[in-house]
Amino acid sequence: MSMQTVTRQEFEEGLREDGICQQPLKRHLVCIIEKDMHRIIGASVQDCEATLDGLLRHYQADALRRITDVLQLMNERGISKKSHRQAMARAARTVIKNLAEVPSDE
């Protein structure tokens, strides 16, 4: 296997082509949020609701964080997708309701 010398720009372009983020931590988090956003809003509203429902069943607090992150990124980028936003808002309200309930001692 031979080694080839490349410039930093060529290296970073190769990483982008491979879908790898080689940036500081904040940039890495934005890449993760972008992937979540594309997974949630890149499909139909029914698929969006199904994805959120799966998150809610297993990871309520994480689902709430991911929903707020995606909504914030959508606002920054000017992405409307009103029906997807409404589905995320319903899911967020459900999470807050479930987390606010006092568990019974049965």
Tell me the pTM.
Answer: 0.66
Q: What's the pLDDT score for residue 102?
A: 75
Q: Is residue 13 part of a domain?
A: no
Q: Does 6 fall in a domain?
A: no
- Residue 69 belongs to a domain: yes
**For residue 88, what are the contacts with CB-CB under 8 A and spacing of at least 6?**
40, 48, 52, 67, 70, 71
pLDDT value of residue 43:
83
pLDDT single digits (tens) 95-106: 888 888 877 765
Contact 97, 59 (CB under 8 A): no
Number of independent structural domains in the chain: 1
Q: Look at residue 62 and tell me if it is in a domain.
A: yes
Q: What pLDDT is attached to residue 28? A: 73
Q: Is 1 among the domain residues?
A: no
- Comparing CA positions, the residue from 1, 81, 89, 2 lying closest to residue 43 is 81
10 lies in some domain: no
Residue 7 belongs to a domain? no
Closest CA to 53 of 7, 25, 45: 45
Q: What is the pLDDT of residue 105?
A: 67
Q: Which domain holds residue 42?
A: 24-100
Q: Which regions of the chain are under pLDDT 50?
A: 22-23, 25
Which pLDDT value is given to residue 6? 74
